[in-house]
Structure 1
Amino acid sequence: MAPPRPNSPATGNGFLASVMRFWNASHLQRTYASDYIGLAILLSSYILIQFFVEPFHRMFSLNDLRISFPYAEVERVPLTHDFIYALFLPLILICLSNLLSSASSHKHHVTVLGLTISLILTSLLTDIIKNAVGRPRPDLLARCAPLPDTPLDKLVDISVCTETGHHKLHDGWRSFPSGHSSFSFAGLGYLSLFLAGQTRIFAHGPGSIAEHTEKVVRGDLLKALFCLAPLVGATMIAISRCQDYRHDVYDVTIGGLLGWTVAYWSYRRYWPRLSSAKCDEPYAGPPGAAEDGPGYGRLRDEEEGAGGRNVGYELRQLNSR
């Protein structure tokens, strides 16, 4: 590791300098401690938002048909079921897959850690956006139960509502994006990526770069459908939110894209790309530790695609023939 610059915080005095010196001198960079610190921050932030933050309440009109749908007392996929489908089901399948393949403890660790980060980060981002946007749900008027003398053709605010249930009323302004959709794609999307990596349906076959340019080994259709199934399940959960009039298509589409994006980002922090010859094994060390010594380095994308070989050298050999 390069020595700190003369004017860097690590060479000064004070609390910040002490923290920087401790960081540089410790093995924290070589462990997953920073990931767990970040995870604790994400979880704490999410809990604080749940208890202390209320959404922005947009004004609305009683003659707006887009918010005039009935309130579903019984949801097709209640919140508890969403947790079962998007959290516990992926967790069980991931652990079962690792156990059946006699995976190392490191593989168990990073797989569960990636899933956890995907779900918590998605939930936090979803709630931040929900509360900031304050978009009315399609069933807002049924939740609000406005006063009888409320004008039909004017913009009004939350003060005209007679609903006394705090959560039921204020949750009416948390339509965008769909939390069920983002959460389901964060969990089931991560599961889909994991299964695709373990079954190697997009992976290049072993061999030299010449063999890679001539033949790519693809998984069979049955494996591909198996890996696609979690995404179909997440899509059905998202559709159920439109059927219950909790969200519209715009809400669930953006929610799904948000969850899928975070799932892919979280997965790739610990795993090679799906076309890599080593896609079924996680990186040997924590993110950001590529220069910390043997076992922690990561292959570049072009090296991953050739099973870790010197791609540039082999390409030059091919061109010289």
Structure 2
Amino acid sequence: MNRSKGRSKSPAGSLAARKGWVGSVARFWEKTYAPDYVGFALLLTAYLLTQFLIEPFHRMFTLNNINIQYPHALVERVSVFWNITYAGAIPLLTLLICLAVTRAGLHKCHVTILGFIISLALSSFITDVVKNAVGRPRPDLISRCKPAEGTNPNILVTISVCTETDHHTLHDGWRSFPSGHSSFSFAGLGYLALYFCGQMHVFRPRTDLGRALLAFAPLLGAAMIAISRCEDYRHDVYDVTCGSILGLSVAFFSYRRYYPRLRSAKCDEPFASRETTFNEGFGKLKSDEETGLRRGQNSLNETDSDEDA
């Protein structure tokens, strides 16, 4: 019984117990964060391919639809560059400063930053896939489209009536749902808020209001970025709300892969490294096997004694 439990808890399983290069690769794969980095690279590659190679589905529309007649803002309140700065660069710098000030160990620094960049990459990829699949017109589609003169405003038309020559401006008009700014901002700033909550034990009993307000401050920043998309008429409330929920959900998923729940007494420390878990699992397996061998040897000795008697 003990031996079977040891095998089931082994982080490597039978493949990692093999000899040769197969076992070496399996052990490296199990005891490091290589799968996470491979997944991150795949996400980043898929995101870039989606950005440059895939066009959105173009839903039909009518020119008299008041919901898509808003003006196209050439100057955005929060551009893509500033969104990356506010929700990507600044939270990353904040995390690095916090880790340095608290003199966090290498493992904590590693998984904290790894979880953050995975949160951003995963939310961006999911958002773009959904955007292209849904093909929902933006509130400023008519302004982007510049429909040809004489187009009947009362019937459904396609992208063929548009005269806009800039490829990105035109096709981006069908990438309304969900809001990419919203999902990205909540993926980055939401992750930072979760980290603050864990480090300051915000969800533990008797936490003061000051720490709670500080921990949730990044969410206010993310909300302001999301609201700016409605002010620029790039999205409506529905797009922004769904994008925000998506980003925050991805942030929570990414954070909890490396940190315990926020009500835990040790929520400020990440889970043990995979190498530690791997070694403990193999140590237990070895101990159980040695115990089994000793028991088998004792049984043989007792049998021999009985036969001699």
| TM score, norm. by length of structure 2 | 0.83
What are the residue-to-residue correspondences of 1:34-53 with 2, within 5 Å? Answer: 34-53=35-54
Asked if structure 2 preserves the Cα contact closer than 8 Å seen for 1:200 and 1:218, the reply is no
Asked if structure 2 preserves the Cα contact closer than 8 Å seen for 1:284 and 1:295, the reply is no
How far 1:27 moved relative to its partner? 2.3
The aligned counterpart of 1:293 is 279
The aligned counterpart of 2:99 is 98
The aligned counterpart of 1:248 is 236
The aligned counterpart of 1:267 is 255
The Cα RMSD (Å) is: 2.2
The aligned counterpart of 1:173 is 174
Any gaps of 5 or more consecutive residues in structure 2? 1-5, 9-13, 283-309
The aligned counterpart of 2:222 is 234
In the alignment, structure 1 residue 283 sits paired with structure 2 residue 271: yes
In the alignment, structure 1 residue 62 sits paired with structure 2 residue 63: yes
The aligned counterpart of 1:209 is none
Structure number with higher relative contact order (C-alpha < 8 Å, ≥ 6 residues apart): 2
Structure 1 Cα separation of the partners of residues 258 and 246 of structure 2: 19
Counterpart secondary structure, 2:70: coil
Evaluate the alpha carbon distance shift between residue 86 and residue 19 of structure 1 in structure 2; reply closer, same or farther with a 3 A threshold.
farther
What are the residue-to-residue correspondences of 1:99-114 with 2, within 5 Å? Answer: 99-114=100-115
Structure 1 Cα separation of the partners of residues 281 and 77 of structure 2: 48
The aligned counterpart of 1:32 is 33
How far 1:92 moved relative to its partner? 0.9
Structure 2 Cα separation of the partners of residues 218 and 167 of structure 1: 52
Evaluate the alpha carbon distance shift between residue 136 and residue 19 of structure 1 in structure 2; reply closer, same or farther with a 3 A threshold.
farther
Q: Which amino acid aligns with 2:230?
A: C
| Higher radius of gyration, 1 or 2 | 2
Structure 2 Cα separation of the partners of residues 55 and 104 of structure 1: 45
Counterpart secondary structure, 2:278: coil
How far 1:77 moved relative to its partner? 0.6
What are the residue-to-residue correspondences of 1:7-18 with 2, within 5 Å? Answer: none
Per-residue deviation, residues 197-247 of structure 1 (Å, max 9, x unmatched): 1111113xxxxxxxxxxxxx3321111000111001101111000000000
Counterpart secondary structure, 2:112: helix
Q: Which amino acid aligns with 1:101?
A: T
Structure 2 Cα separation of the partners of residues 99 and 218 of structure 1: 27
More helix by proportion, 1 or 2?
Answer: 2
Evaluate the alpha carbon distance shift between residue 153 and residue 45 of structure 1 in structure 2; reply closer, same or farther with a 3 A threshold.
same
What are the residue-to-residue correspondences of 1:134-145 with 2, within 5 Å? Answer: 134-145=135-146
The aligned counterpart of 1:77 is 78
How far 1:28 moved relative to its partner? 1.4
Asked if structure 2 preserves the Cα contact closer than 8 Å seen for 1:190 and 1:263, the reply is yes
Q: Which amino acid aligns with 1:81?
A: W
The aligned counterpart of 2:207 is 219
Q: Which amino acid aligns with 2:139?
A: P
How far 1:291 moved relative to its partner? 6.0
How far 1:84 moved relative to its partner? 0.7
Structure 1 Cα separation of the partners of residues 48 and 281 of structure 2: 37
Aligned residues: 269
Asked if structure 2 preserves the Cα contact closer than 8 Å seen for 1:285 and 1:295, the reply is no
